[in-house]
Amino acid sequence: MDKEFLDQLLSLGQKLSPAAATSLRIALIVVMAWVALAFSHKLIRTFRIYISRSMQDGEQVQRAATLGRVFRYAASVIITLVAGVLVLAELGVSVAPILGAAGVVGVAVGFGAQSLVKDYFSGFFLLLENQIRLGDVVEAGGKSGMVEELTLRYVRMRNYDGHVHFVPNGSISSVTNMTRGFAQAVIDVGVAYRENVDQALDVMRTVGAELRADPVFAPKILDDVEIVGVDSWGDSAVILRCRFKVVAIEQWTVRREYLRRVKHAFDAAAIEIPFPHLTVYPGQAKDGSSPPLRLSMEGATQHPGGTQ
């Protein structure tokens, strides 16, 4: 049956005019290219899903998704180029001179598009070395945010304010990945110099234990709070530091909740959290004395000479 169908196609092609036969072959090439694109995309997607089912680590699943996107893009480029060359051959355009000229033009363009080539090479190694994946929160190329798209050309990130950054891969010299494996929620708390440091550290330790026992935050915290101790002496406060080992991307949530609870605990224990103070004087008399500031019921400032 297949042989008969092919024979019918050949006989039909012999009956058609050269222009019609050429048009038919071009249409056949376009259809075959479309089928190849659809088949390759479906094959890559199916293989990615099959591989992802055997992966227990969410990071590996993200990497597989990222590589799948890159492979689909590469397959599209290759199939399109091959189809274009075949169409040109059917139109009677000699491909060999075009390829030779393309080589010369490619060298010339290469000098002017070094940054573009650098972007593609850098993007390839970013994917190969698994430095960045979709969903990661990273700092790269002077920008930071959650990775929404990763191609061989650029990295698209969205920061907390909703701003979208497109960073060319060639401009990325170093990558800070803040959500790889696990994270540390580092927290600094300032107390007044007159406070008992050991008491403040005990309160921080107690709050950390309560936070980890909370059923809402327990899945996000991987270990007990680590009380580092006195980190530095500030201008108006003693800086105490602690940290939590947490699930990736949860460090900011845990930090905010811990600071909220520490504020309530310090208030209950009468531990002062210092803040800058400003003392205002209305001026000095010649004898060096300074008249006091008195506030009326209406909030106006009272001076010895009257109300202002």
Instruction: Please calculate the CA angle 41-46-47 and round it to the nearest 5 degrees.
Output: 100
| 295 domain residue, yes or no | no
pLDDT tens profile 174-204: 899 998 888 999 999 999 999 999 999 999 9
Q: 199 with 261, same domain?
A: yes
Q: d(Cα 262, Cα 265) in Å, to the nearest integer? A: 5
From 155, 163, 297, 184, select the one nearest 247 (Cα to Cα).
184
Last residue of a domain, one of 66, 81, 112: 112
What would the pLDDT profile of 58-107 be if each residue is shown by its tens digit? Answer: 666 766 777 777 778 778 888 888 888 787 777 776 666 666 666 666 66
Angle, vertex CA 217, rays to CA 216 and CA 218, nearest 5: 100
CA distances from 91 to 10, 20, 36, 42, 83 (A): 20, 12, 22, 31, 12
Q: Which helix (H) or strand (E) holds 44?
A: helix 18-53
Q: Are residues 7 and 108 in the same domain?
A: yes
More confident residue, 36 or 287: 36
Boundary-marking domain end, from 80, 112, 144: 112
Residue of 114, 247, 122, 244 whose CA lies nearest to 175? 122
Nearest-angstrom CA–CA distance, 57 and 278: 54
**Are 168 and 143 in a shared domain?**
yes
Query: Same structural domain for residues 7 and 98?
Result: yes
Whether 117 is covered by a domain: the verdict is: no
Number of domains in the chain: 3
Structure tokens at 203: 């309160």
Domain end (from 78, 112, 146):
112
**Residue 182 buriedness (CB in 10 A; 0-12 / 13-18 / 19+):** middle
At residue 66, what is the residue type?
Answer: T
Instruction: Decide if 70 is inside a domain.
Output: yes
Q: Does 230 lie in the same domain as 249?
A: yes
**Residue 261 and residue 192 share a domain:** yes
- pTM above 0.75? no
pLDDT digits (tens, 9 = 90+) for 265-287: 999 999 999 877 665 666 666 66
Min mean pLDDT across 27-36, 213-222, 250-259 is at 27-36
Q: What pLDDT is attached to residue 126? A: 82
* pLDDT tops 90 at residue 260: yes
What value does the mean pLDDT take over residues 23-27? 78
Average model confidence (pLDDT) for the chain?
A: 80
Confidence of residue 132 (pLDDT cuts 50, 70, 90): confident
Q: What DSSP letter does each residue of 68-112 carry, written as one string?
A: HHHHHHHHHHHHHHHHHHHHHHHTT--HHHHHHHHHHHHHHHHHH
8-state DSSP, 221:
B
Q: Same domain, yes or no, for 41 and 107? A: yes
List the CATH number of the domain containing 138: 2.30.30.60
For residues 164 and 200, membership in a common domain is answered with no
Q: What is the pLDDT of residue 85?
A: 79
Q: Give the structural domain span for 150.
A: 126-177
**290 assigned to some structural domain:** no
Question: What is the model's pLDDT at position 224?
Answer: 92
Q: Is the pLDDT of residue 307 over 50?
A: no
Amino acid residing at 288: G
pLDDT of residue 229: 92
Q: Is residue 232 part of a domain?
A: yes
- Residue of 242, 238, 109 whose CA lies nearest to 187: 242
Domain for residue 245, yes or no? Answer: yes
How large a percentage of the chain has pLDDT more than 70? 73
Per-residue pLDDT averaged across 120-142, rounded? 84
Q: From CA 22, how far away is CA 89, in angstroms rounded?
A: 10
What average pLDDT does the segment 14-35 reach? 75
- For residue range 195-251, list pLDDT tens digits in order: 999 999 999 999 999 999 999 999 999 999 999 999 999 888 999 999 999 998 899
35 with 88, same domain: the answer is yes
Question: What CATH number does the domain containing 64 carry?
Answer: 1.10.287.1260
What is the reported pLDDT for 46?
84
Dist CA 212 CA 267 (whole Å): 21
